């Protein structure tokens, strides 16, 4: 940071993602707690606004691949981190799973997350259906946390700047403490972002954070223009796990801001460098093990053409390899926008990215659209995930629901879910050794049971 900060310069805050989205995007969330711990006290001295490090896929990966208790990880972090806010990513009514849960489960999860050390909960819904954010926002505020409502950014005929501004105003009225514009595919461009942020700041009186990915090559430029337009907080990743399908790099962006006449970052560059030096060998280890594919580090223009996020691309490749049909890759990429249009233009983020992607593969492999239909696609049409940005046409609905239940709902899906906390607690009573275990079991029954059994054997 420069020695003298002009009186008229505005500080832009940073949220660091290396401990969550960065390694989720690049190495499938495989970084272990023991690999993170030595860097925590260094990072705590940098001057970050927050670390996004829990939630998203970290919970599932900890159980399924690392044999670690995500709740133990949270408590361990909280003991080591004294100055920086800890932030998590929550899928609204889906919590960290892939289906909707009852409101009592949502309240309990958020109470436990905040009670164990989370300060900020970033809450999003794949369809941007604000009804699916209500319970999480309410519970976060009830239990003393900061409720950040996130909107999944995407491009379509209906996703106009006006739509996003109106959704932000609605979330502000709902009680959100801040807003995040979550660009999971790297679709935001610098000049469009400048105009959008200007319009949001003109109409909404709420802190605004911007999250983007470097997949398309636009990330750093987009953050720069967003800062010039008045965004309050930006998400970046330390350079060893930045770029490619991850976030733009922290250090050069902070350096650039500190040489601006209007903005400054105020981060400790020496500590940033020390932390980067620590993570560099870890990155090299994952490259050597084959988990970090150098191909993920380049610019992928397909994300601008087909709006397919990096994680979704890798899933499509995996499915086609399993079917011995990699020659169909381009056909599947062309099919994705068609399926997305049929399903009401949902943003491509978990779980809608998996739903649209899998159906696109099925369509191409079958040589016929919707010859085979996934249960998840049927549930989207039935309204079980919430309202799509554009109503699904009766023609498409009839084609997809031609067999089985044709019922379609227009109310909040969770209204149909009876309280389930006590029932789940009884179901897994033999395994529960801490109150949080019931939540782990509810979200990931298979991996949780396996983890609990291993834990029992080790005791």
126 shares its domain with 183: yes
Q: How many domains does the chain fold into?
A: 3
Within a domain: 181: yes
200 and 69 share one domain: yes
The answer to whether residue 295 sits within a structural domain is no
Q: What is the 3-state secondary structure (H, E, C) of the chain?
A: CCCCCCCCCEECEEEECHHHHHHHHHHCCCCCHHHHHHHHHHHCCCCCCEEEEEECCHHHHHHHCCCCCHHHHHHHHHHHCCCCEEEEEECHHHCCCCCCCCHHHHHHHHHHHHHCCCCEEEEECCCCCHHHCHHHHHHHHHCCCEEEEEEECCCCCCCCHHHHHHHHHHHHHHCCCEEEEECCCCCCCHHHHHHHHHHHHHHCCCCEEEECCCCCCCHHHHHHHHHHHCCCEEEEECHHHCCCCCCCEHHHHHHHHCCCCCEECCCCHHHHHHHHHHHHHHHHHHHHCCCCCHHHHCCCCHHHHHCCCHHHHHHHHHHHHHCCCHHHHHHHHHHHHHHHHHCCCCCCCCCHHHHHHHHHHHHHHHCCCCCCCCHHHHHHHHCCCCCCCCCCCHHHHHHHCCCCCCCCCCCCHHHHCCCCHHHHHHHCCCCCCCCCHHHHHHHCHHHHHHHHHHHHHHC
Q: 135: which residues sit within 8 A by CB, 6+ positions away?
A: 92, 93, 103, 106, 107, 414
Rounded to a whole number of angstroms, the distance between the first and last alpha carbons of the chain is 50
Do residues 234 and 269 both lie within one domain? Answer: yes
Q: The domain that contains 375 carries what CATH number?
A: 1.10.472.90
What is the C-alpha separation between 94 and 133, in angstroms, rounded? 10
Range of the domain at 397: 301-414
pLDDT at 222: 98
The verdict on 214 and 74 lying in the same domain is: yes
Here the tokens at position 21 are: 């989205």
Which parts of the chain have pLDDT scores under 70?
1-7, 310-311
- Alpha-carbon span 24 to 27, nearest angstrom: 6
* 358 touches 319 (CB < 8 A): yes
Same structural domain, 262 and 136: yes
Q: Please report whether residue 152 resides in a domain.
A: yes
Q: For residue 199, how far is the Cα from the chain centroid?
A: 24
Closest CA to 115 of 428, 436, 419: 436
Domain membership of residue 4 (yes or no) is no
Whole-number Å distance between alpha carbons of 314 and 308: 10
CATH number, residue 210: 3.20.20.70
Tell me, yes or no, whether 402 and 434 share the same domain.
no
Please tell me whether residues 156 and 214 are part of one structural domain: yes
What is the structure's pLDDT at 3?
A: 45
Sign, Cα dihedral of 303, 308, 310, 314: negative
pLDDT recorded at residue 8? 83
Is residue 103 assigned to a domain?
yes
pLDDT computed for residue 449 by the predictor? 95
Here the tokens at position 349 are 């983020």
On whether the CB atoms of residues 80 and 37 are closer than 8 A, the answer is yes
Q: Are residues 69 and 186 in the same domain?
A: yes
> Would you say residue 5 lies in a domain?
no
Maximum separation of any 2 CA atoms in the chain, in Å: 69
In a domain, 1, yes or no: no
8 Å CB contact between 67 and 454: yes
Whether residues 191 and 309 share a domain: the answer is: no
Instruction: Judge if 51 and 200 occupy the same domain.
Output: yes
In a domain, 296, yes or no: no
Q: What's the full length of the chain, in residues?
A: 459
Is residue 24 within 8 A of residue 401, CB to CB? The reply is no
**Looking at residue 310, what is its pLDDT?**
67
Rounded CA-CA distance 289/296 in Å is 15
Q: Are residues 253 and 388 in the same domain?
A: no
Same structural domain, 403 and 442: no
């Amino acid at each position: 940071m420069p020695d003298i900060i002009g009186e008229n310069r505005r500080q832009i805050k940073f949220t660091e993602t290396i401990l969550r989205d960065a390694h989720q995007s690049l190495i499938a969330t495989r970084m272990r707690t023991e690999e993170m711990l030595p860097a925590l006290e260094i990072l705590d001295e940098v001057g970050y606004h927050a670390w996004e490090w829990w939630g998203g896929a970290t919970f599932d990966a900890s159980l399924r691949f690392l044999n670690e208790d995500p709740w133990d990880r949270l408590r361990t972090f909280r003991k080591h981190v004294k100055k920086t806010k800890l932030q998590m990513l929550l899928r609204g009514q889906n919590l960290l799973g892939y289906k909707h849960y009852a409101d009592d489960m949502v309240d309990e999860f958020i109470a436990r997350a905040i009670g164990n050390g989370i300060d900020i909960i970033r809450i999003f819904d794949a369809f941007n259906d604000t009804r699916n954010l209500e319970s999480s926002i309410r519970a976060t505020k009830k239990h003393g946390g900061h409720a950040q409502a996130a909107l999944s950014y995407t491009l379509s005929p209906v996703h106009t700047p006006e739509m996003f501004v109106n959704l932000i105003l609605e979330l502000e009225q709902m009680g959100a403490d801040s807003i995040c514009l979550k660009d999971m595919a790297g679709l935001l461009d610098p000049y469009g972002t400048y105009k959008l942020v200007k319009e949001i700041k003109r109409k909404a009186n709420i802190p605004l954070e911007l999250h983007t990915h470097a997949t398309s090559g636009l990330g750093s430029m987009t953050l720069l223009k967003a800062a010039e337009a008045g965004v309050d907080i930006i998400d970046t990743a330390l350079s060893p796990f930045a770029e490619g399908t991850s976030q733009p790099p922290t250090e050069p962006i902070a350096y650039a801001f500190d040489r601006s006449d209007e903005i400054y970052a105020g981060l400790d560059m020496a500590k940033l460098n020390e932390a980067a030096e620590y993570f560099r060998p870890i990155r090299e280890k994952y490259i050597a093990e084959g988990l970090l594919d150098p191909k993920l580090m380049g610019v992928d223009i397909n994300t601008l053409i087909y709006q397919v996020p990096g994680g979704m691309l890798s899933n499509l490749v995996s499915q086609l390899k399993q079917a011995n049909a990699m020659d169909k890759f381009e056909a599947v990429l062309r099919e994705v926008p068609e399926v997305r249009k049929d399903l009401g233009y949902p943003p491509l983020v978990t779980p809608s990215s998996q739903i649209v992607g899998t159906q696109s593969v099925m369509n191409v492999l079958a040589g016929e659209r919707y010859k085979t239909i996934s249960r998840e696609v049927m549930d989207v049409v039935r309204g079980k995930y919430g309202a799509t940005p554009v109503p699904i046409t009766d023609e498409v609905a009839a084609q997809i629901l031609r067999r089985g239940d044709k019922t379609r709902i227009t109310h909040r899906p969770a209204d149909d879910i009876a309280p389930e906390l006590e029932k789940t607690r009884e179901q897994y009573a033999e395994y529960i050794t801490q109150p949080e275990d019931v939540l782990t079991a509810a979200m990931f029954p298979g991996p949780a049971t396996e983890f609990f059994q291993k834990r029992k054997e080790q005791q």
